Amino acid sequence: MRKLFLTLLIAVPFLTQAGGGWTKSKGSAYYKVSQWWVVAAKHYTSNGSIDPNATMGIFNSSFYGEYGITDRVTAIVYFPFFSRAYRNAQVSGTTGMTTSPGEAVNSIGDTDIAVKYGISKPGSKFVFAGTLLLGLPLGKDDGGSDGSLQTGDGEFNQMVRFDLSRSFSIGKVNAYGNVYAGFNNRTQNFSDEFRAGGELGAAFLKNKLWGILRMDVVESLQNGLSSAEGSNGMTIFANNTEFVSYTYEAAYYVSEKVGVSASYSGAFSARLILAAPSYSVGVFLDLK
């Protein structure tokens, strides 16, 4: 059950995944290629209300990998090898004339590398791990005529995160729970962040199909540029972004090692970020 549980946790977006409190066993690996996207005609303002904007979208094609260096140390990488940000043309409803042309930017995206260390003793009912993540600003932070088409935020961040997890059974159904908390130190006048969340997952169809429900919270410490000096929220890379989000995830093992996944994410509340759900689909390879 432990091995099955580990692979399903890492089928979710990178900053809230990496196997919870579990590490990969030495020499085992997990690789995933996925497509994530959001298209929005609205955005959350600094006070949490919603304003309209020209329809814009962001698409990330990415590689995610985990490798067990030892039974307690896992190396992790998330690399968006192709990222596209675009904005549709704006057309006057009165004259039919184009008032603002459409634009697009293509590049690689901001990349994350991390190391996770298993703190709890092997065999513990509750597993506990700490992760150090480095966010590399490889994306473009000033694309388009007004600089708002971004595939990255232009800042080097360092995040420390702790996960507490447990696997359990409900009758014949294998399940797990995980909670986490982290601190994200950001540079270039971006505000630092507190991050927290939790998730529950359960297995069906003889452990081939896993369903996951997750909640994530990002809270800005407001110690960088004010929202008035920074981005207005018509991006996913704004300073002082905050949200309380939910995600529904499903992953299905086609074979013992190969599987597919899909997810849908939305927000209960947010500030300074696009106001639209995001989606992802992926294919993963699980090498135990």
Q: What is the pLDDT along the chain (288 residues), one digit of tens a residue?
A: 433 333 333 333 444 455 799 999 999 999 999 999 999 999 999 999 999 999 999 999 999 999 999 999 999 999 999 999 999 987 767 776 777 788 999 999 999 999 999 999 988 999 999 999 999 999 999 988 888 899 999 999 999 999 999 999 999 999 999 999 999 999 999 999 999 999 999 999 999 999 999 999 999 999 998 654 556 778 899 999 999 999 999 999 999 999 999 999 999 999 999 999 999 999 999 998
Report the DSSP pairing between strands 103-107 and 98-100. Answer: unpaired
Diameter over CA atoms, the chain: 70
Which residue type is seen at 6?
Answer: L
Cα 276 to Cα 50: distance, rounded to the nearest angstrom: 11
Task: Give pLDDT tens digits for 16-60.
Answer: 455 799 999 999 999 999 999 999 999 999 999 999 999 999 999
Identify the structural domains of the chain with CATH numbers, from first to last.
2-287 (2.40.160.40)
**CB-based burial of residue 64 (10 Å sphere; 0-12 exposed, 13-18 middle, 19+ buried)?**
buried
Name the pTM for this structure: 0.90
Cα 119 to Cα 132: distance, rounded to the nearest angstrom: 13
10 CB-near residues (< 8 Å, 6+ apart): 17, 18, 19, 30, 32, 64, 66, 284
